[in-house]
Structure 1
């Protein structure tokens, strides 16, 4: 991956209702706290379009709010071909997401693509989908996303 500072990142999970909207909000709050948010484009998307135009899962909204991050105005969307040239970096939450992202990568793609923990922390750990889990599972992924966001922020 290139060593020059990045200016845009797209976080991707399956439906863009749990992990990726949370990552979008948390990463934005980390960059803001570090004074790096100006001019950085942060967005999220899903590999499927089941929830297009919906708000994030209420449990993601609530865990974010408990930690001072507001993601309630985000709208879910599906990963598109133009994302591969619009963003410097596309981040998948787990290996299944990475496979789907790679399958959608067009020939003219310029974005770097990587697993969140691997890009941010040099660890192959995946961020599990909490959708069928409990509030405690959403708290766990919040902490994982926060740790990875702090690691990723050095690239910006």
Structure 2
């Protein structure tokens, strides 16, 4: 059974920390982390408006800090989930030869939504919509892991 999950977005301040927070709340017995493909926000907490939207749902993201995805993550995690196709492409570009750790879209676990990616609320400003989709996908992921 997959036990270590890494959630990845671009900057690691909105989508991936929110997914990590939802996952940890729903599956506290499994290990989770998040990272960004870009290093702009390394060491910073999640974006304020995302923290506020998460807090309204009972999720505290305040203790999380952004970090950049590294090639070593392929050996540290059992499943890597990108928020959009660009994230997955950036992840795959760092894949070590011979490594078989699955890298998929988080939305693969929410086919009923018809979503092909989690829109970035840093740009769309729809933090609640992103959280709705993330929560649905994490429920699908939970069923997949059961």
1:130 lines up with 2:126 in the alignment: no
Identify which of 8, 13, 18 aligns with 1:17: 13
Residue in 2 aligned with 1:117? 107
Deviations 1:79-138 (A, max 9, x none): 0111001100000000111111111111142421101111x134562101111233xx00
1:1-156 to 2 correspondences below 5 Å:
5-31=1-27, 37-38=28-29, 40-118=30-108, 120-122=109-111, 125-134=116-125, 137-156=126-145
Moved over 3 A (4+): none
Q: TM-score, normalised by structure 1?
A: 0.87
Runs of at least 5 residues in structure 2 that lack an aligned partner in the other structure: none
1:154 counterpart SS class? helix
| Aligned length in residues | 143
Q: Distance in 2 between matches of 1:148 and 1:59?
A: 21
Runs of at least 5 residues in structure 1 that lack an aligned partner in the other structure: 32-36
